[in-house]
C-alpha cells in the first residue's frame, strides 16, 4: 500500500459485507480469509457472523464456541457490541458470534437493526467484515446496503448467477425504497412499479425511466441513488478459463440491462487446499499462503482497498 | 445514418470514438458471446425475445460502426470484417457442407480458436464438424446447438435451415 489508509481519514471502521443469493457459494470462507488477510496487513478487524441459517464462521476462524454473542447484546445482557468481541487465533482479528441471535432476530424491529448498525460503526477497529446469510431477505439486504463495500459471491453455474441477479435487483430496489422516505419519490416508484408489473418489464433502468416520465425530479433522485450503488462481485470455484470472464460478463450485462455499475474484483479457482485447511481447522491464507486461493484473496483485498481510495 | 444512432452504437459496444476496426471487431465478438444463447452471464437475465433483440442491435451497431470506420480510413480496401464481408455464396449442389463451413470461416480470417472462443464450443468439435467426422460428433441433440452457433458466428443468412441441412447428413449416414 502507498500509505493510503482509508481509516486514517475516518474514525469509524470500514464495513465490508459478503453476501450472495445462494447458500454454499463460499461466503463464509471468503469472509474469514479476507478478514485474516487484512489482519495480516496490520489492520484491526472484527468478523461478525450474520448468517441466519448456518452460522459457522467461528469454525473457519478456529474459535471455540464463544461464550458471548450478539444475543447478549440484543437482550441487553451487555450494553455495547464491543463486549461481544472475542479474540481469534489470528493477531489483530476479533470475532462476534451471531449464532442464536439471528434466529430470534428473524424479524428484528427496525430500531433494533438500526441500533446494531450504529454499534457496528462505532467499534474501535479499522474493518468490520459481515458474513451475511443466503437469500435476499430485508435483513440481509439492509446489512448489505449499510456496508461501505458490498461483496457478492457467485459460482459459475446458472442457478447461482440467477440468484446473484435477483439479489442485485432486490438490493437496488430496497435502496431506492429507503431513499424515497425523504422525498416524494415513493409514489412515483409505486406507480411505475405497478405499470412495470402489468407490462412485465423487469429492469431497474426501465423503472428509473418510467419514474423520470412521471416525476422528473424524483427520477433524478433515483439516478443519483443508482450511481452510488456499486456492489462488488467475486466468481468463486472457477474451473475453466471461461469462468474467469464471468465476472466482467455480469458487470457488462448489469450495465446493459439494469443500468447499474457493479465491479468485478476477482475470481477464485477451485483449490484443494481449501478442504485441507478446513480439516486442519485453519484458514487457507494462514495454512497455505502460497496457494492459488490465498493469492486470489489477497488480490480481492487489494482491489477493495483500491476501490475505497479511488472514491476518496 | 443519424449521428444519434451512431453514438448509441458506440455506447452499446463500449467503444471509443476513435476505435479501430480491430477493436470494434473484438468488442462485437465479445458482446455476441455475452448475449449468445446459453451464455452463463445472461441466461437467466433476459427473455428469448430480449436476447434476439439484443443480438440484432449488436449486429446492426457493428455494421454501422464498421462502415463508419471504413469511410474514415483512407485505404479503400480495409480488412474484411465478419458481418460486413460479402454475404456468403450459397451452398453449391454437391459441395460438402463441412467444407463450406470451413471455407466461409477462412474467408472471414477466423481460426477455429476464434470460433471456439465465441461459441464456447471446443475447437476439436468444430474441427470434427468441418471435416464431417460423423463418428466423432456428439449426439444430434447437442450437435444441433453446436452447428447452429457455428453458423451464426459465421454470419450465415439462415442458420436454422443450414443446421437442419447438416443434421440430414447424419440421417443419411444412418440409413
- The interface residues of chain A toward chain B in range 247-306, judged by CB-CB distance below 8 A, are 249-250, 252-253, 256-257
The answer to whether the CB of B153 falls within 8 A of the CB of B134 is: no
φ, ψ at B38 (rounded to 5°)? 85, 5
Does the pLDDT value for residue A173 go beyond 80? yes
pLDDT of residue B175: 44
Decide if A102 is inside a domain: yes
Decide if A198 is inside a domain: no
pLDDT of residue A9: 47
pLDDT of residue A312: 62
The answer to whether the CB of B58 falls within 8 A of the CB of B32 is: yes
Decide if A226 is inside a domain: no
Average pLDDT of the segment spanning B88-107: 81
pLDDT of residue A303: 95
Average pLDDT of the segment spanning A101-129: 81
The answer to whether the CB of A232 falls within 8 A of the CB of A263 is: yes
Does the pLDDT value for residue A237 go beyond 80? yes
Does the pLDDT value for residue B73 go beyond 80? no
Beta strands in chain A (DSSP E): 14-19, 45-50, 86-87, 93-96, 127-132, 149-154, 232-238, 263-269
Q: How far is CA A27 from the centre of its chain?
A: 9
Q: Which three cell numbers stand for residue A154?
A: 457467485
Mean pLDDT of all residues belonging to chain A: 84
B85-174 CATH choice from 1.10.260.40, 3.40.50.970, 3.40.50.1100, 3.40.309.10: 1.10.260.40
Decide if A95 is inside a domain: yes
- Model ipTM over 0.85: no
Average pLDDT of the segment spanning B140-154: 86
pLDDT of residue B174: 53
Would you call A249 and B46 a contact, using CB atoms and an 8 Å cutoff? Answer: no
Q: Where are the domains of chain B?
A: 3-82, 85-174
Average pLDDT of the segment spanning B126-131: 90
β-bridge partners, A94: A46, A87
Query: What DSSP string runs through B95-161?
Result: --HHHHHHHHHHHTT--HHHHHHHH---HHHHHHHHTT-GGGSPPHHHHHHHHHHHHHHTT-S-HHH
Decide if A162 is inside a domain: no
Residues of A in contact with B40 (CB under 8 A): 156-158, 161, 242, 246, 249
A286: pLDDT confidence band, cut at 50, 70 and 90? very high
* DSSP summary character for residue A69: B
* CATH (domain of A140): 3.40.50.300
User: What is the C-alpha separation between A258 and B139, in angstroms, rounded?
Assistant: 37
Least confident range from A100-104, B25-29, B83-87: namely: B83-87
Comparing CA positions, the residue from A203, A39, A208 lying closest to residue A125 is: A39
**Least CB-CB distance to A252: which of B34, B44, B46?**
B34
A113: pLDDT confidence band, cut at 50, 70 and 90? confident
User: What is the C-alpha separation between B9 and B68, in angstroms, rounded?
Assistant: 11
Identify the domain containing residue A62 by its residue range: 6-154+271-311
Decide if A17 is inside a domain: yes
pLDDT of residue A37: 97
Q: Which residues contact A59 (CB under 8 A, 6 or more apart)?
A: A281
pLDDT of residue A52: 63
- CB atoms < 10 A from the CB of B135, how many? 6
Q: Which residues contact B146 (CB under 8 A, 6 or more apart)?
A: B119, B121, B125, B126, B129, B138
User: What is the C-alpha separation between A303 and A47, in angstroms, rounded?
Assistant: 19
**Least CB-CB distance to A249: which of B12, B14, B34?**
B34
- Choice between A78 and A194, residue whose per-residue pLDDT is larger: A78
Q: Does B47 contact A at CB distance below 8 Å?
A: no
A86: pLDDT confidence band, cut at 50, 70 and 90? very high
- Choice between B129 and A22, residue whose per-residue pLDDT is larger: B129
φ, ψ at A236 (rounded to 5°)? -105, 155
pTM: predicted TM-score of the whole model, two decimal places: 0.71
The answer to whether the CB of A185 falls within 8 A of the CB of A211 is: yes
Average pLDDT of the segment spanning A177-194: 68
pLDDT of residue A205: 75
CA distance B14 to chain A (A): 9
User: What is the C-alpha separation between A69 and A49, in angstroms, rounded?
Assistant: 10
User: What is the C-alpha separation between A141 and A150, in angstroms, rounded?
Assistant: 10
Average pLDDT of the segment spanning A115-144: 89
Note the pLDDT tens digit of each residue in A6-59: 444 457 999 999 997 677 788 999 999 999 999 999 999 999 998 766 668 888
Q: To probe the interface with A, which of B40, B58, B119 has the most A CB atoms within 10 Å?
A: B40
Could you please state the CATH topology (level 3) that the domain comprising B3-82 is classified under: Helix Hairpins (1.10.287)
Average pLDDT of the segment spanning B120-143: 84
Average pLDDT of the segment spanning B144-173: 83
**Residue position matching grid coordinates 469472509:** A31
Q: Which three cell numbers stand for residue B112?
A: 477455429
Q: How many domains does chain A have?
A: 1
Pairs of residues, one from chain A and one from chain B, whose beta carbons lie less than 8 Å apart = 36
* DSSP summary character for residue B42: T
Percent of chain A with pLDDT over 70: 84
pLDDT of residue A201: 45
Amino acid at each position: 500500500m502507498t500509505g493510503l489508509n482509508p481509516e486514517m481519514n475516518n474514525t469509524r471502521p470500514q464495513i465490508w459485507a459478503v453476501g450472495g443469493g445462494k447458500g454454499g457459494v463460499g461466503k463464509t470462507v471468503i469472509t474469514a480469509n479476507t478478514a485474516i488477510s487484512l489482519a495480516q496487513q496490520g489492520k484491526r478487524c472484527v468478523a461478525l457472523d450474520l448468517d441466519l441459517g448456518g452460522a459457522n464462521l467461528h469454525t473457519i476462524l478456529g474459535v471455540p464456541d464463544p461464550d458471548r454473542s450478539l444475543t447478549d447484546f440484543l437482550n441487553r445482557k451487555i450494553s455495547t457490541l464491543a463486549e461481544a468481541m472475542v479474540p481469534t487465533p489470528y493477531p489483530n482479528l476479533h470475532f462476534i458470534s451471531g449464532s442464536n441471535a439471528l434466529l430470534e432476530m428473524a424479524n428484528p424491529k427496525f430500531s433494533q437493526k438500526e441500533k446494531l448498525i450504529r454499534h457496528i460503526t462505532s467499534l474501535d477497529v479499522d474493518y468490520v467484515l459481515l458474513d451475511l446469510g443466503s437469500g435476499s431477505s430485508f435483513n440481509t439486504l439492509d446489512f448489505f446496503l449499510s456496508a461501505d463495500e458490498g461483496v457478492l459471491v457467485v459460482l459459475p453455474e446458472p442457478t447461482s448467477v440467477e440468484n446473484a441477479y435477483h439479489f442485485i435487483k432486490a438490493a437496488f430496489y430496497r435502496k431506492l425504497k429507503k431513499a424515497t422516505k425523504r422525498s416524494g419519490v415513493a409514489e412515483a416508484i409505486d406507480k411505475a412499479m405497478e405499470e412495470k408489473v402489468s407490462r412485465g418489464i423487469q429492469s431497474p433502468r426501465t423503472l428509473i425511466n418510467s419514474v423520470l416520465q412521471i416525476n422528473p425530479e424524483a427520477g433524478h433522485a433515483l439516478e443519483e441513488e443508482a450511481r452510488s450503488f456499486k456492489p462488488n462481485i467475486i466468481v468463486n470455484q472457477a474451473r475453466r478459463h471461461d469462468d474467469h470472464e464471468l465476472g466482467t460478463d455480469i458487470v457488462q450485462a448489469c450495465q446493459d440491462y439494469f443500468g447499474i455499475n457493479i465491479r468485478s474484483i476477482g475470481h477464485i479457482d477451485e483449490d484443494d487446499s481449501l478442504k485441507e485447511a478446513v480439516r486442519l481447522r485453519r484458514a487457507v491464507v494462514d495454512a497455505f499462503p502460497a496457494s492459488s486461493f490465498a493469492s486470489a484473496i489477497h488480490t480481492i483485498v487489494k482491489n477493495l482497498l483500491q476501490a475505497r481510495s479511488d472514491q476518496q | 445514418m443519424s449521428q444519434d444512432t451512431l453514438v448509441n452504437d458506440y455506447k452499446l459496444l463500449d467503444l471509443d470514438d476513435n476505435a479501430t476496426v480491430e477493436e470494434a471487431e473484438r468488442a462485437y465478438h465479445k458482446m455476441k458471446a455475452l448475449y449468445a444463447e446459453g451464455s452463463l452471464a445472461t441466461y437467466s437475465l433476459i427473455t428469448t425475445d430480449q436476447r434476439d433483440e439484443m443480438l440484432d442491435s449488436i449486429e446492426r451497431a457493428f455494421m454501422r460502426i464498421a462502415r463508419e470506420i471504413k469511410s474514415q480510413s483512407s485505404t479503400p480496401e480495409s480488412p474484411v470484417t465478419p458481418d460486413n464481408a460479402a454475404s456468403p455464396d450459397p451452398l453449391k449442389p454437391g459441395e460438402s457442407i463441412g467444407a463450406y463451413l470451413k471455407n466461409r470461416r477462412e474467408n472471414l480470417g477466423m481460426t477455429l480458436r476464434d470460433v471456439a472462443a465465441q461459441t464456447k464450443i471446443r475447437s476439436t468439435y468444430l474441427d470434427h464438424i468441418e471435416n464431417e467426422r460423423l463418428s466423432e460428433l456428439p449426439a444430434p441433440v447437442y450437435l444441433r446447438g453446436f452447428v447452429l452457433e457455428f453458423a451464426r458466428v459465421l454470419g450465415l443468412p439462415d442458420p436454422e435451415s443450414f443446421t437442419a441441412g447438416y443434421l440430414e447428413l447424419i440421417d443419411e449416414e444412418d440409413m
